Structure 1
């Protein structure tokens, strides 16, 4: 059934939209460029520029292309910056003034050679991911506008699945019918029981119901926010957002202090698609933002399931239309999990360390020795000379067995 579900979308698949720089970053991660000290400084410069007001993906790439490196761009004169960002990304006076204030606040040489201990600490355990990081999802680089940064909070071990888009996005309207709410909750629960992270936007309606179903089954909810991580929207979702962060992961591309804008909620739709390998459209009207997620998933060749609804219901006019475009009807949540198979986070029968964990501890003696009192994913990659995906899977098994605990910044410690 899975092959049948994917077949209609093969023709819709397009080549990656990423630039040559995107492909270089992917190739660098495959070669574990994290062992190269120059990558450390490159990451710090990218982190510094990514937080600069008015600098997005296009401008960042243009600066790097014009000056040869982001370090040289930092020392460029205001006139050269204006020239470098000319054309369709022209830097306006107000933007230039904000950029100059930002540069002035950090000084002419904010990153030393080699980086200081303080700078190294910030690089080793950040609460954000950059495109050059080992665990930055490769699928994000295929988006037309990849996020410069992914700020996150929650269970760091979940990135072993999310970095490979091993999750399912569940989207829909904020004002669904009772049937839509029930189905969203059942879908979230079924995916969690099968071991699949459930990606949604933490909005009212379908999003919240899918997350609640996932939480009820002890699964991993992934909330993609249209606000910074320190803000809650809608306000009455404070407890839900906190629980998602505790049991799963919160993700946002917006740094703290970013003012709220309606367009941010539309932009987050592409992040939901970038974190998932399949999308479920539960219920939405003809003008819903959830349709943008479906359109992007279609362009990327992802399988799309749609929950059929009353043909006369306005709240389902948009989702029902996708059934005419080749999406697969989802009548029962079990059909979805049967097609997807077992997810990457399928919980073991026992989650506490005991006699049954002894063979695991013996097999992972080398990893535990490299971990010591605590270490980051990049540090373990350096010490063991293994790919991040391999180490992440082993860390996850130890965490589920109650041997390790994850902390913010992709950091693990013994329990």
Structure 2
């Protein structure tokens, strides 16, 4: 986007009630957004849908501003910026602007849809939360950024698992960036912002809007290569996200649950509509292949004995990290490798134990 046009786009966005459709209408009618700004009132009012409120908003902004056009703040993406993901602009309702904080180097990955969305209920059962956390770990170990909404339940557990495995979480918020919802996610939101990316369609200082949480679903789905629906009831915003994924032809995976589990009635229903059943996190990783942030490959002939020795009859992620002195990312990669080989199995609460099968474990 040309610098002058970019600044005028931002200036028009500060007029109450002006969005991307109105800006496009003004630019088409007057040839440029600058010309539209200085157009006489009667010419503006001649446009379909333009009323006195737009003129009043323009005039009030003009009186308050020390200079025009207004400068665009840092860490704001506008529609024609090179970093803006094309998939977002192809939506029926593309964003007029995106506000972000965190690692800007991740935007090229989102332009190429190189992230996996994990979605589900805010009131997920322990089963759903455990699944979301294990997905976060597995995807992080495979080098895939995990994108979700930072809401309670499935979203938070997916982000937490990703962080614990040294991965890259990306959160699309339903509030402005400086707000935290729910409030007890303050630490989690800060961690995501440091290690990954926080994205919002809501401008700083914008009031909380109930519909914004459902509206943001289209953004996180559009930027994803595939979507995993973990658990949700019949009435859930996650079902809207699943419908968007289906309409955008994104691969949709669903974690099955008991048929009489009310908290999974909505997600189970997608299994009858063509979604793919996900029975194990490694199934997803194998289907996706290595992610864009995959760490260096394990040696050709790894010796898993140190991990198995540290594991004993079973151990948590934190305990293994202390015993082996490995980074979260390196440990997550080894755990995923051992799980894929059938040597260990995952337990609730980010714990693992040796898998007692007829498969011979390699020895030192």
**TM-score (normalised: structure 2):** 0.78
Structure 1 equivalent of residue 284 of structure 2: 336
Tell me if structure 2 keeps the 8 A contact 1:165–1:275.
Answer: yes
Paired with 2:117 and 2:145, the residues of 1 have a C-alpha distance of 9
Structure 2 equivalent of residue 49 of structure 1: 12
Structure 2 equivalent of residue 106 of structure 1: 65
Structure 2 equivalent of residue 238 of structure 1: 186
Aligned runs of 1:253-292 on 2, under 5 Å? 253-292=201-240
Structure 2 equivalent of residue 59 of structure 1: 22
SS in 1 for 2:46: helix
Paired with 1:260 and 1:172, the residues of 2 have a C-alpha distance of 21
Tell me if structure 2 keeps the 8 A contact 1:51–1:255.
Answer: no
Structure 2 equivalent of residue 167 of structure 1: 115
Structure 1 equivalent of residue 41 of structure 2: 78
Q: What is the aligned counterpart of 2:156 among 194, 208, 213?
A: 208
Q: What is the aligned counterpart of 1:294 among 224, 238, 242?
A: 242
Q: Deviation string for 1:359-396 (max 9, x for gaps)?
A: xxxxxxxxxxxxxxxxxxxxxxxxxxxxxxxxxxxxxx
Q: Deviation string for 1:120-173 (max 9, x for gaps)?
A: xx58xx201111111110111111111111110001111121121110111111
- Residue 62 of structure 1 and its aligned partner are, at CA, apart by 1.1
1:153 is aligned to 2:116: no
SS in 1 for 2:290: coil
Instruction: Label 1:266 to 1:96 Cα distance change in 2 as closer, same or farther (>3 A).
Output: farther
- Residue 347 of structure 1 and its aligned partner are, at CA, apart by 2.8
Q: What is the aligned counterpart of 1:321 among 266, 269, 285?
A: 269
Paired with 1:151 and 1:200, the residues of 2 have a C-alpha distance of 16
Paired with 2:59 and 2:170, the residues of 1 have a C-alpha distance of 36
**TM-score (normalised: structure 1):** 0.69
Paired with 2:57 and 2:37, the residues of 1 have a C-alpha distance of 14
Instruction: Label 1:109 to 1:242 Cα distance change in 2 as closer, same or farther (>3 A).
Output: closer
Paired with 2:278 and 2:127, the residues of 1 have a C-alpha distance of 13
Paired with 2:56 and 2:216, the residues of 1 have a C-alpha distance of 28
Paired with 2:159 and 2:272, the residues of 1 have a C-alpha distance of 28
Structure 1 equivalent of residue 127 of structure 2: 179
SS in 2 for 1:302: coil
- Residue 97 of structure 1 and its aligned partner are, at CA, apart by 2.9
Instruction: Label 1:134 to 1:179 Cα distance change in 2 as closer, same or farther (>3 A).
Output: same
Higher relative contact order, chain-length normalized (CA < 8 Å, sep 6+): 1
Instruction: Label 1:79 to 1:304 Cα distance change in 2 as closer, same or farther (>3 A).
Output: same
Structure 1 equivalent of residue 314 of structure 2: none
Instruction: Label 1:215 to 1:74 Cα distance change in 2 as closer, same or farther (>3 A).
Output: same
Q: What is the aligned counterpart of 1:191 among 139, 143, 151?
A: 139
- Residue 76 of structure 1 and its aligned partner are, at CA, apart by 1.8
- Residue 182 of structure 1 and its aligned partner are, at CA, apart by 0.3
Q: Deviation string for 1:260-295 (max 9, x for gaps)?
A: 110111110011112111100001111111111111
Larger Rg: 2
Tell me if structure 2 keeps the 8 A contact 1:266–1:289.
Answer: yes
Paired with 2:19 and 2:55, the residues of 1 have a C-alpha distance of 14
In proportion to residue count, which structure has more helix?
1
Paired with 1:80 and 1:314, the residues of 2 have a C-alpha distance of 57
Q: Deviation string for 1:229-282 (max 9, x for gaps)?
A: 011111111111001000000000111111111011111001111211110000
SS in 2 for 1:337: helix
- Residue 222 of structure 1 and its aligned partner are, at CA, apart by 0.5
1:218 is aligned to 2:166: yes
Instruction: Label 1:92 to 1:257 Cα distance change in 2 as closer, same or farther (>3 A).
Output: farther
Tell me if structure 2 keeps the 8 A contact 1:75–1:108.
Answer: no
